[in-house]
With several copies, the nearest count.
Chain A
Amino acid sequence: MKRGDDLRKKDCVAMILAGGQGSRLGVLTQKLAKPAVPFGGKYRIIDFTLSNCYNSGLDTVGVLTQYQPLALNTYIGIGGSWDMDRKNGGVALLPPYMRKEGGEWYKGTANAILQNMDFIDSYQPNYVLILSGDHIYKMDYSLMLDYHKEKKAEATIAVIEVPWAEASRFGILNTNENGKVLEFEEKPAKPKSNLASMGVYIFSWEVLKEYLQQDEQDPTSSNDFGKDINPKMLKQKQRMYAYPFEGYWKDVGTIQSLWEANMDLLDEYPQLDLYDTNWQIYSVNPNQPPQYLSATAKVCRSLVNEGCVIHGSVTRSVLFPGVYVGTGTTIKDAIIMPNVKIGSDVVIKKAIICEGVTIADGCQVSCQEAGCQQCYSEAGITVLGKSITGTDISCHQKVVRRSSKEFEGFKGIGFNTGEILT
């Protein structure tokens, strides 16, 4: 019965940390876990990590959830969209839970893994891959695993070269010429290297287990991989290597970086190619008819998804499914999330419009006052989380003044008023 019994054994199990609140994304994550935030006209952020797993041949993935998981749970289900609805393995959603001794929330990234040791152990893996659910990149984890094995490492950390000028904003790893990690520096003032940790780790499971249990006993620990586990392992002379990754990689933890990552896709030849069928990014596919561009539409340098109807002008913007854009409307440098309905003669510049918002005719979304705290995010990006349907539009609503044109109220053809989000 050798293989019959061994069926559940897996060489490597991936664990995706998807429980973070993502508070720096403000209204975007008010009712939504960060990994579930829409991205790139079609995807949710976690699609990239899940697709990387599938494309890397990993078929056993735990997703650790905690904050507002409903949308994420519904979205991921049993992983069919990423071909992970497998008999043996597949995707498991892992919320915190009650035990006989009571229950506790995930205290940190390391504690979240600790609380799910039983799950990992049931696959008797040799290795565990720890991933974040909020990075945009394409990476073949199987190559990193090969590297980990080849180096006979206990821990391997994926690193990317960042510009020297920015290195002080990252966790920096100093290595010897073989890639062996000698030192960690968290946001060093004077970085000795420009190799930044990507938050992608491979551990030999037996070794990691020990450290997790040790760490749990330490009352001063914040139970975090970057802050506690990895430094402790390094201190105790475990074999730790840096795996150099080349390619596009972006942490989309802030409004600005999220906006930038979307805009990056609009380059003529973007570094992250969504159209490459050899490393496809999978997602739940909406069921919408093809988009309709009317005789008055003008769309360029943009991504537009199915179900959109466009009468106006759209430049350097990303439109998710089911967006309606009225005649005379101008949209530039904007991200318009699913089912947003935009009336006629609206002006939108450098903004993120949240799912289901309705914008009445003649409104202007782009605050003119640079100092306005309500409308301006750090990066000068307006985030609109609420419909504009009335006449009482003020900065306080995170929305920006109407044009001088008479307000008429939005009447889309057959569209109902979107739900109010804020």
Chain B
Amino acid sequence: MKNVMGIINLSAEEDLLKGITLHRPDAAVPFAGRYRLIDFILSSMVNAGIKNISIFTKNKYRALVDHLQSGKDWDLDRKRDGLFMFHPGNLKEDTSIYKGFLQSLYNNLDYIYKSKQEYVVISDANLVCNFDFEQVLNFHLKNKADITIVYREKDKNKEIEEQFFNRGLMLDLGENNQIADMIEIEADFSISKKRRLFNKKFNKRSVGIYMMAKSLLLDLINASVARGYYDLVKDGFIKNLATLNICGYRHQGYLAKIDSIESYHQHSLDLLNQEVWQDLFFNPGLIYTKVKDGPPVKYMKNAKVNNSLVANACIIDGVVENSILFRRVKVHKGALIKNSIIMQKTEIEQNVVLENVILDKEVRITKGKRLKGEPNYPVVVGKKTVI
């Protein structure tokens, strides 16, 4: 995949994870004990041999810059190509208003022009998956597609699946993998309208990964921006449906799109299935993240931990079930944690009981306190809160 450049698009972010994204973009939300959301798609690109990767941010990008730094931990600190970050409005004056993804691309057109790769893959950042980009490229070439859009089909009936197929870019797939029609389902569509569209023909959802020739992307950017259009999908894809060969590639492995607190909570707990764990972290490649120094987990005398993921440097003397513990969490004797996600450097004191909660970084729950949410409505506690 030396001939493909990667672009990660953070422009679509709309603070869907309120409460844990106050100080960070969605892409920098901690996930799975030691990662940030962006690690999954970024590592997938690296594992596919993509060596030129850029990230187009929208706002609040400091957390992301701190996380990625020079790209060294993803092996992207390179003399040629490597990792690039483009922030809005810092090129000329900082008075410019953010207009859309295509505007960001247009502002950095020289970078895209100069890049030596022939193909480009564009991806959203909020995808939890270990994605095989090589297969998409093979599909793209085999189908002689102008644009390939990766989609998922509904295959289970879980509540969370329902949500997933109730929004976003929905595809109507025609013959020969060609997309016959597509529509962006907005949040304010009525449920009955959504159902109708889905049942009719728009029953495949784009996951937010697109592949095309770099030259075509340049054409789309120039043509759209010249007319004052700034949306890649609506202005670049849908308006050109008639003239371009746009194909759909079906992704079949594990993939979760994190776009709400509920999906964050649910998909975090997905990882407690050992098959998902194995698939997500090892297949086809490893997921990289910013490495941190820290000793192993210490299980004390009274520890009882079941069906849980635990990151390094935790010290556990309590009971933990169906939960995810990030780095340096302390669980004292007598504490009980169930169906919860506990972020970095949080301390759970003696005899605390937690169920269906999400604690952000550096929270402290003092002796004997109890917090309980519901699976579809977890209690979220903000960074550095003391309860």
| A and B physically associate | yes
A290-320 contact mask (Cβ, 8 Å, vs B): 1 or 0: 1111111111111111100100001000110
The minimal Cβ–Cβ distance linking B308 to chain A, given in whole angstroms, is 6
**Range for the number of chain A residues in contact with chain B:** 35 or more
The minimal Cβ–Cβ distance linking A413 to chain B, given in whole angstroms, is 6
Question: Are B283 and A1 neighbours in the complex by a CB distance under 8 Å?
Answer: yes
Interface residues of B in 162-187 (CB under 8 A from A): none
Complex interface: stretch among A102-110, A111-119, A238-246, A279-287: A279-287
User: Which secondary structure characterizes the binding site on chain A?
Assistant: loop
Chain B residue nearest to A305 (CB atoms) is: B296
List of B residues within 8 angstroms of A40 by Cβ: 295-296
Question: Are A292 and B32 neighbours in the complex by a CB distance under 8 Å?
Answer: no
List of B residues within 8 angstroms of A275 by Cβ: 295, 298, 313, 315
Interface residues of A in 339-362 (CB under 8 A from B): none
Are A268 and B312 CB-contacts (below 8 A) given A285-B293, A305-B296? no
The minimal Cβ–Cβ distance linking B288 to chain A, given in whole angstroms, is 6
Complex interface: stretch among B17-25, B145-153, B299-307: B299-307
The minimal Cβ–Cβ distance linking A333 to chain B, given in whole angstroms, is 15
Are A290 and B34 CB-contacts (below 8 A) given A2-B283, A301-B300, A413-B278? yes
Q: How far is it, in angstroms, between the C-alpha of A282 and the C-alpha of B325 when the chains are bound?
A: 22
Q: How far is it, in angstroms, between the C-alpha of A87 and the C-alpha of B47 when the chains are bound?
A: 12
The minimal Cβ–Cβ distance linking A30 to chain B, given in whole angstroms, is 25
Question: Are A413 and B274 neighbours in the complex by a CB distance under 8 Å?
Answer: yes
* B285, CB-defined interface residue at 8 Å: yes
Question: Are B32 and A4 neighbours in the complex by a CB distance under 8 Å?
Answer: no
* B29, CB-defined interface residue at 8 Å: no
Chain A residue nearest to B295 (CB atoms) is: A274
Question: Are B307 and A294 neighbours in the complex by a CB distance under 8 Å?
Answer: yes
Contact of B79 among A83, A88, A294, A319 (CB under 8 A): A83
Chain A residue nearest to B277 (CB atoms) is: A292
Question: Are A290 and B311 neighbours in the complex by a CB distance under 8 Å?
Answer: yes
* A3, CB-defined interface residue at 8 Å: yes
Question: Are B300 and A268 neighbours in the complex by a CB distance under 8 Å?
Answer: yes
Chain B residue nearest to A41 (CB atoms) is: B296
* B292, CB-defined interface residue at 8 Å: yes
* B218, CB-defined interface residue at 8 Å: no
List of B residues within 8 angstroms of A413 by Cβ: 274-275, 278
Question: Are B295 and A303 neighbours in the complex by a CB distance under 8 Å?
Answer: yes
Q: How far is it, in angstroms, between the C-alpha of A297 and the C-alpha of B304 when the chains are bound?
A: 9
Contact of A280 among B283, B293, B303 (CB under 8 A): B293
Q: How far is it, in angstroms, between the C-alpha of A291 and the C-alpha of B296 when the chains are bound?
A: 10
Question: Are A295 and B307 neighbours in the complex by a CB distance under 8 Å?
Answer: yes
A249-285 contact mask (Cβ, 8 Å, vs B): 1 or 0: 0000000000000000000100000110000111101
Question: Are A300 and B47 neighbours in the complex by a CB distance under 8 Å?
Answer: no
Question: Are B299 and A301 neighbours in the complex by a CB distance under 8 Å?
Answer: yes
Chain A residue nearest to B326 (CB atoms) is: A290
Which of B274, B291, B298, B313 is the most central at the interface, judged by chain A CB atoms within 10 Å of its CB? B298
Tally of A-B Cβ pairs under 8 angstroms:
132
Question: Are B274 and A304 neighbours in the complex by a CB distance under 8 Å?
Answer: no
Question: Are B283 and A289 neighbours in the complex by a CB distance under 8 Å?
Answer: no
Question: Are A290 and B310 neighbours in the complex by a CB distance under 8 Å?
Answer: yes
List of A residues within 8 angstroms of B32 by Cβ: 289-290
Q: How far is it, in angstroms, between the C-alpha of A314 and the C-alpha of B79 when the chains are bound?
A: 34
List of B residues within 8 angstroms of A274 by Cβ: 295
A77-90 contact mask (Cβ, 8 Å, vs B): 1 or 0: 00000010111100
Contact of B299 among A7, A283, A296, A299 (CB under 8 A): A299
Q: How far is it, in angstroms, between the C-alpha of A280 and the C-alpha of B313 when the chains are bound?
A: 12
The minimal Cβ–Cβ distance linking B14 to chain A, given in whole angstroms, is 29
* B189, CB-defined interface residue at 8 Å: no
A377-391 contact mask (Cβ, 8 Å, vs B): 1 or 0: 000000000000000
Question: Are B291 and A287 neighbours in the complex by a CB distance under 8 Å?
Answer: yes
Question: Are A83 and B281 neighbours in the complex by a CB distance under 8 Å?
Answer: no
* A42, CB-defined interface residue at 8 Å: yes
Question: Are B282 and A1 neighbours in the complex by a CB distance under 8 Å?
Answer: yes
The minimal Cβ–Cβ distance linking A295 to chain B, given in whole angstroms, is 5
Are A4 and B282 CB-contacts (below 8 A) given A83-B78, A298-B304? yes
Question: Are B309 and A300 neighbours in the complex by a CB distance under 8 Å?
Answer: no
Q: How far is it, in angstroms, between the C-alpha of A310 and the C-alpha of B382 when the chains are bound?
A: 32
Are A268 and B305 CB-contacts (below 8 A) given A40-B295, A274-B295, A285-B293? no
List of B residues within 8 angstroms of A295 by Cβ: 306-307
Question: Are A292 and B296 neighbours in the complex by a CB distance under 8 Å?
Answer: no
Q: How far is it, in angstroms, between the C-alpha of A88 and the C-alpha of B74 when the chains are bound?
A: 11
Contact sample, A vs B, 25 pairs, CB 8 Å cutoff: A1-B278, A4-B284, A7-B286, A83-B78, A83-B80, A87-B75, A281-B295, A287-B286, A289-B280, A289-B309, A290-B310, A292-B274, A292-B309, A294-B274, A294-B306, A294-B307, A295-B306, A295-B307, A296-B306, A301-B301, A302-B298, A306-B34, A306-B312, A314-B299, A413-B278
Extra contacts, 19 of them, besides A289-B34, A414-B278 (Cβ < 8 A), are: A3-B47, A3-B285, A4-B284, A7-B285, A85-B77, A268-B301, A274-B295, A275-B315, A283-B293, A287-B288, A287-B289, A290-B309, A294-B274, A294-B307, A295-B307, A297-B306, A302-B298, A303-B295, A306-B296
